[in-house]
Structure 1
Amino acid sequence: MSVLRPGETCWRQAHADRAAFLIDTEAYFAAVFAAIQKAKRSILLLGWGFDPRTRLFPDGYDGPDDPDEVGRVLVELACSRPELDIRLLIWKSALPISASQQFFPHKARKWFENTPVKFRLDDQVPFGACHHQKVLVIDEALAFCGGGDIAVDRWDTAAHLDDDQRRIMPDQDHHAPRHEVMMMVDGDAARALGDLARIRWFRATGETLEPRPADGDPWPEHVPAAITHAEVAIARTEPAWKARAPVEEIRDLTLESIYAAKKLIYLENQYFTSPVITEVIAQRLGQPDGPAVVLVSTGEAPSWFDRLTMDRSRAALIWRLRAADVYGRFRALRPITPGGVTIIVHSKVTVVDDRIVRVGSANLNNRSGGFDTECELAIESDDPETQIAIAAFRDRLVGHFIGYTGEAVARASAELGGMVAAIDSLNREGRLASIEPAPMTPFGAFVSRYHLGDPANVSDSWRVGRRRERLYSEARAVTSLHALGLQANSKSITSGR
């Protein structure tokens, strides 16, 4: 049975003539620039963050009035094409988060005053939650979805060089190497993402937007399609809010994907703090014929809050998986540059065998399962050509971390008996280092035990003292159902949370 089931593990499935994977933000920003130059009727962006000063083609010098600043590019487009409707809907971030970003995106409102660009901040989420969807739709014909925001500390190349002067910010400082992944689709899949974006716009502003399709093809000419003629699923997370029921499609799809795996689960993610997902993976690792699991994440989170909350919780869960890994099939890895600099992993990618690929905004934490808003794209296919493309995407991701081509990774995997053996063999320079959890202090153990800062849903956000009990009760329920051969439907499991 397919893991993609509209109304259960996804919202909709829609056809795309073309789909492509954009690895790292140099590729994403270049594709965005090429696509918006072709826009005729509409550009609609959803984001967690946004900074109009973001350079799309940084050159190592950041000066006044850079022509490639995204805010300047959008304003010039809107002024030169009166028929082009440009709308940006960005989360109205909490003050501490905004302060860490020089008070953007809040300051962006002034940037777009008296311009045709319509910029709005969206605060329509429960207290403590955030809008985390990252979607860009152009002319109802092309859409981007993934983990990347258009912000000043995001740009990097797939080389992740130690000292790349192009990773420059407006204050002339340079940000750390950073890994992002976006997915690009056209056709009905792009139109469906347009529907999602318009729903968000209505909820935030009360204004109903009609689709604005246009003749022409905004697909960037320099980007080849990785997959053609595919059914693309859109999966979401939405919290219970203003009489709307919670949407937990991404969480359910994650569990079903893990159980569907036969040989390999490849995960790239910023966070790994969900006890439910951990216990499901542990169950698979304990099976003699279960899949290998490769997790790639940041060695240490860049912000003090994430180090306090997410890193401590992750440490305990990695120890849990290592204890469950009786057959030696689990690797938790952190990428570093050749000079030993930490690469921030901000991508959210899941590849299961050669059959399922998912790219989106959701982290492998509690929040992304039911408290924040999230969106991702997924393809499941038994078509041999599509499976070759999915495997090539995964192999290229692994290879770019350790300095090999995707073809070299695929060859080593075939010759040595799997991805874990291939990584162990090719990773001679140690650029995928093992994640070694730091010793836990008493305060760290308290944070980890109660998953502070990482609620699973709206009601959970107010019940910190019982959070651990509820999360692990749910994990036991999910694994018990699958042990009995039953589908783990989260709506029945979590109805009492």
Structure 2
Amino acid sequence: MEKPIVEPGETCWRMAKAGRLALIIDAASYFASLRRAMIHAKRSIYLIGWDFDTRIRLDPSVEDEWPLKLGHLLNVLVKARPELEVRVLKWDVGVLQTLGRGATPLFILNWMASRRVHFRLDHVHPADACHHQKLAVIDDVLAFCGGIDITVGRWDTREHCEQDPRRTSPWGFTQPPWHDATAAVDGEAASALGDLARERWKHATGEDLAPPGFADEIWPETLPPTLMDVEVGIARTQPAYDGQPEAREIEALNLRAIGSAQDVIYIESQYLASHTIGEALAARLEQNGGPEVIIVAPLTAEGWLEEEAMGTARALIVRRLRGADRESRLRLLYPANASGTPIYVHAKIMIVDDRFLRVGSSNLNNRSMGLDTECDIAVEVRPGARNEEASRAAIRTARNDLLAEHSGVAIELVNALQDEGRSPIQIIDLLSRPYGRSLHRLPLLHLNAVEEKIAASHLLDPEKPDTFQRKLRRFLAWAIPRAHVRGD
């Protein structure tokens, strides 16, 4: 009998029931849902993330008695709710980088008005690592887990308009179009994510916190569930450090999902740099009659350093995948908006056939598989499940919804093409346009000798803790002699 994809102790940390799970696409919907949920919080709010900025507006479309900006809202909430405690855990990225990102010391001062808003920096991790989980847990009855940071540059709608006056930084600058995803769960799954948030808080701060106790449900009325009555697997990456054991559940989950695919593997990822995942995908492409593989990624990384670190590694994997694609079952794509501007893909999603859905904080790079602290949630529809057909239909609809968004068409058209028997790749090819809102093929980046070596060495994308200085010395031992030979 084939092993399940989601299995506690192997491919996930824990499984827990959720009465509702909603896949949330793009931060406009997430921020609005989070704000509504926090407004109803009674006892506890945990915000665990890579970055935060108190000045961002959570929902520019509403006008009510509650503040729109994150920091002001939390201050007002604790004043209005005597039993409410708010805890915010942010990666300790360092003072200079923090200032550069805009999360200045004013960010901390903004919450000094209340002793019940607790802000901490997470620095309890290897020197090369970062805290990358993105969790929000309210009263342990509703939790969000995904890839969206509550910070500058993330808010966008599914239209990804070229010039949206609501998509501005605190300084008034329009931000580029941004595609992202997270998920909401209730029930036992929300409580389990609360346990994980408290575990991370304890590891980072030493403070041992108890669960908040009973609270009423606070599912936002405007948030339609994607799946109902499902078992949710919670998968982690965490490096061994300071008494914390290593966990590589996310890597194991991805590999088992890829290996079990029958018809299609649909992926959205900011990075495509994990050599382990790349080889697993190549192996499926090399099989006769294997699944289609669709990967939606950004055209380029955000900055020069990220492009050198992740873009060069992606180029090697793209080359490998295209070489393995013997039956034209691979599409490597980036989305563009109606004006033709590339949309930055920050989402971390995997959908396999119509029976597996994963969303979380982890990218398909080496860091997310073994070095950084990550959290994903996943649902697998198993044969004979009570709501098997409805859940399979919901996962198909979720994938078709994403294809429709990226192609600039209504989901009804994608559903109709599917009903005609067209595969996802056939649908993409049929809807593809050379300009405007569409999915476009990723160009193959040419690498010089130094870039090839950087990518192959994983110098800037390690999978295990190591000192950067040691990696740099190894790289320079290779690079400097070559430079002398060339006369550089």
Normalising to structure 1: TM-score of the pair? 0.89
Corresponding position of 2:452: 445
Q: Which residue of 2 aligns with 1:289?
A: 289
Contact 1:21/1:182 (CA < 8 Å) preserved in 2? yes
Is the CA contact (8 Å cut-off) linking 1:41 and 1:85 kept in structure 2? yes
Question: Sequence identity of aligned pairs in percent?
Answer: 41
Task: Decide whether aligned partners of structure 1 residues 175 and 86 sit closer, same or farther in structure 2, where only a CA change above 3 A counts.
Answer: same
1:398 CA drift (Å): 1.2
Post-superposition offset of 1:218: 1.0
Q: Does residue 392 of structure 2 align to residue 387 of structure 1?
A: yes
Kindly state the Cα deviation for residue 83 of structure 1 after the two structures are TM-superposed.
Answer: 0.8
In the alignment, which residue of structure 2 is the partner of 1:133?
133
Deviations 1:306-335 (A, max 9, x none): 111101110111011001000000000011
Secondary structure of the structure 2 residue equivalent to 1:397: helix
Structure 2 residue ranges without an equivalent (≥5) = 383-387, 476-488
**2: CA distance, partners of 1:442 / 1:238:** 33
Question: 1:32 corresponds to which residue?
Answer: 34
CA-CA distance at 1:416 after TM superposition: 5.1
Alignment of 1:20-419 (within 5 A): 20-58=22-60, 67-95=67-95, 97-102=97-102, 104=103, 107-115=106-114, 116-382=116-382, 383-415=388-420, 417-419=422-424
Give the 3-state SS of the residue equivalent to 2:332 in structure 1. strand
Shift of 1:95: 4.7
Query: Aligned residue for 1:479?
Result: none
Supply the distance in 1 between the matched residues of 2:245 and 2:358 (Cα, whole angstroms): 24
Residue 462 of structure 2 aligns to which amino acid in structure 1? P
Q: Is the 8 A contact 1:90 1:105 kept in 2?
A: no
Matched to 2:118, the amino acid is: K
Deviation at 1:465, TM superposition (A): 8.0
Q: Distance in 2 between matches of 1:467 and 1:144?
A: 41
C-alpha displacement of 1:432:
0.8
How many residue pairs are counted as aligned between the two chains? 462
Q: Report the secondary structure of 1:198's partner residue.
A: helix
Matched position secondary structure for 1:332 = strand
Matched, 1:422 2:421: no
Q: Distance in 2 between matches of 1:445 and 1:378?
A: 34
What is the letter of the counterpart of residue 326 of structure 1?
R
CA contact (8 A) 1:416 1:422 kept: no
User: Could you report, residue by residue, the CA deviation over 1:97-146 in whole angstroms, capped at 9, with x for unpaired residues?
Assistant: 424412x1654222212323111111111002000000011111000000
Structure 2 CA distance for partners of 1:466 and 1:284, relative to 1, 3 Å: farther
1:172 Cα deviation from its structure 2 partner? 1.0
* Aligned counterparts of 2:60 and 2:93: Cα–Cα separation in 1: 26
Pick from 424, 431, 435: which aligns with 2:442? 435
Shift in Å, 1:163: 1.2
Please provide the CA RMSD for this pair.
1.9
Deviation at residue 466 of structure 1 after TM alignment:
11
In structure 1, give the amino acid aligned to 2:56. T
Q: Which residue of 2 aligns with 1:491?
A: none
What do the CA deviations read for 1:273-316 (whole angstroms, capped 9, x no partner)?
Answer: 01111111111001112100000000011222111110111011
Q: Distance in 2 between matches of 1:30 and 1:214?
A: 25
- Give ranges in structure 1 of 5+ residues lacking alignment: 61-65, 469-497
CA contact (8 A) 1:58 1:167 kept: no
Counterpart Cα distance in 2 of 1:96 and 1:335 = 33
3-state SS of 1:298 partner: coil
The alpha carbon displacement at 1:205 in A equals: 1.4
Deviations 1:11-63 (A, max 9, x none): 00000011111110010011001111111111111000000001112379xxx
After superposition, what is the alpha-carbon deviation per residue over 1:413-441, rounded to whole angstroms, capped at 9, x for unaligned? Answer: 34353100100001235521111123223
Distance 1:388 1:194 in 2: 29
Amino acid at match of 1:158: R
Q: Measured at CA, do residues 461 and 282 of structure 1 come closer, stay the same or move farther in structure 2, by a change above 3 Å?
A: farther
d(CA) in 1 for partners of 2:433, 2:192: 44
What is the alpha-carbon distance in structure 2 between the residues aligned to residue 44 and residue 231 of structure 1? Answer: 23
Partners of 1:106 and 1:303 lie apart in 2 by 25
Contact preservation (8 Å) 1:392, 1:407: no
Contact 1:50 1:105 (C-alpha < 8 Å) held by counterparts: no
Tell me the distance in 2 between the aligned counterparts of 1:2 and 1:371: 26
Q: Distance in 1 between matches of 2:104 and 2:362?
A: 21
TM-score normalised by structure 2 residue count? 0.91
